[in-house]
Amino acid sequence: MNAYPLTIYYDESCPLCKLEIDNLKARNDKQLLQFVDVSGANFKDEYAPASQEAMMEIIHARRADGEIVSGVEVFRLAYGAVGLGWLTAPTKLPILKPFCDWLYPHIARNRYRLSDRFSGVLFKIARDRAIRRQANRAAQQSKACHEGHCER
């Protein structure tokens, strides 16, 4: 039962969602995550795990083994893929898992309002840090190649 690559179906029209996905994209060095924006009026994907309407309500993903996951489990798998599994690890604890799984749909339902408030700031900071790290890695690799030490 292999989860990766994990195809994440998300709402790019939501500023908060876009920031989180941009953060994941910037950290996706191992290419374990694939991303599909479901927000467009012309969205069509014969392999989509659910209806466009359902995927606009809560985040969905298709694991490499074909299993469909949604809600907090998508974030657990996505953050694990980019080396941030420690952030979502507490959401697996028996005492917290039911609460987190219950809370996420309420957050998702109000994500546009949350986008205008404090949550967006946190994701912007994380995204910007990830982008800077990605740029630094690219610069180091470029310098190494220039010096004849390329990794291929």
Q: How far, in Å, CA of 77 to CA of 127, rounded?
A: 18
Q: What is the pTM of this model?
A: 0.77
Q: How far, in Å, CA of 24 to CA of 66, rounded?
A: 21
DSSP symbols for 25-80: HHH-TT--EEEEE--STT---TT-SS-HHHHHHS-EEE-TTS-EEETHHHHHHHHH
Neighbours of 76 (CB within 10 A): 20
Q: How far, in Å, CA of 3 to CA of 79, rounded?
A: 12
- pLDDT value, residue 126: 72
Q: How far, in Å, CA of 111 to CA of 62, rounded?
A: 22
Q: What are phi and psi of 60, to 5 degrees?
A: -130, 160
- pLDDT value, residue 133: 82
- pLDDT value, residue 1: 74
Per-residue pLDDT of the chain (152 residues; tens, 9 = 90+): 799 999 999 999 988 888 889 989 999 999 999 999 999 888 888 888 898 899 999 999 999 999 999 999 999 999 999 999 999 999 999 999 999 999 999 999 988 887 666 555 666 777 777 788 888 888 888 887 878 777 65
Q: Tokens 């991303």: give the residue.
A: 35
Where do the domains of the chain lie? Answer: 6-146
